[in-house]
Amino acid sequence: MKADQYVTVAREGVHESEINRSRFLCALAPAATEREAQDFVARIRKEHPTASHNCYAYVIGADASVQKASDDGEPGGTAGVPMLQMLTRRDIRYAVAVVTRYYGGVKLGAGGLIRAYGGVVGEALDALGTVTRHRYRLVTVTVDHQRAGKTENDLRSTGRTVLGVTYGAAVEIEVALPESDLPAFEAWLADSTAGSATLTPGGETYAP
């Protein structure tokens, strides 16, 4: 079953920390696909060609079906994995994190690296903020021109999300509903339009 909601990063941005003279820059971005995540990693690497390491982690899919991490030359399991763990622990989806490290001459040890890489991702999430997106079912309500204005007003006044209105032979109003709201919505629509409106379920979307 698909998740009814997921959390992702609010916007692209960079957060910097200094730990034992090493600079850690965490670049975060939303990513709709694995390709977008990989393109972001490549872009950050290009921006920091002289960095000691550009480690990354990303989670794609509302159910976190795609998870990848890279230590980029740091000791195995000390960079990418703690970054990924921070993303999954915060329930972050459709997001990519790249931590660029400029080595400052002091070795941190395995435990220090794990804390540094995971910690800077957590700090970046706090600094840049997150947004919750909810799963909606798209439905099309078809009504005659006579009832269209009142139906659209009724939809908006009851707090439904109206995405668009198309005028043709009849009027089609596209609405986004929580999946669980569908049976109640059908009953409400039949009642408010005296059974004259038709309802066509469509695909799914995620929205704030």
Provide mean pLDDT across the span 103-120.
95
Q: Where does 5-128 sit in CATH, by number?
A: 3.30.230.30
Q: Which of 7-11, 58-62, 200-204 has the lowest mean pLDDT?
A: 200-204
CATH 3.30.70.240 fits 133-207, yes or no: yes
The fraction of the chain above a pLDDT of 90, given in percent, is 84
If you ran DSSP here, which 8-state letter would residue 92 be given? B
Mean pLDDT of the chain: 94
Q: Which of 5, 1, 17, 34 is nearest to 207 (CA)?
A: 5
Q: Is 195:166 a contact under the CB 8 Å cutoff?
A: no
In this predicted structure, what is the pLDDT of residue 207?
A: 74
Q: Is the pLDDT of residue 113 over 80?
A: yes
Provide mean pLDDT across the span 131-152.
93
In this predicted structure, what is the pLDDT of residue 171?
A: 96
Q: Is 95:8 a contact under the CB 8 Å cutoff?
A: yes
- pLDDT tens-digit readout, 55-100: 999 999 988 999 999 999 999 999 999 999 999 999 999 999 999 9
Q: Is the pLDDT of residue 134 over 90?
A: no
Domain residue ranges of the chain, discontinuous segments joined by +: 5-128, 133-207
Provide mean pLDDT across the span 140-154.
94
Q: Which of 24-38, 39-53, 147-161 has the lowest mean pLDDT?
A: 147-161
C-alpha 26: how far from chain center: 17
Confidence category of residue 2, pLDDT binned at 50, 70, 90? low
Fold match flag (5-128 vs 133-207): no
CB count within 10 Å of CB 193 equals 18
Distance (Å, whole) CA 184 – CA 178 = 11
Q: Which of 104, 98, 188, 99 is nearest to 139 (CA)?
A: 188
In this predicted structure, what is the pLDDT of residue 1?
A: 45
Provide mean pLDDT across the span 24-48.
97
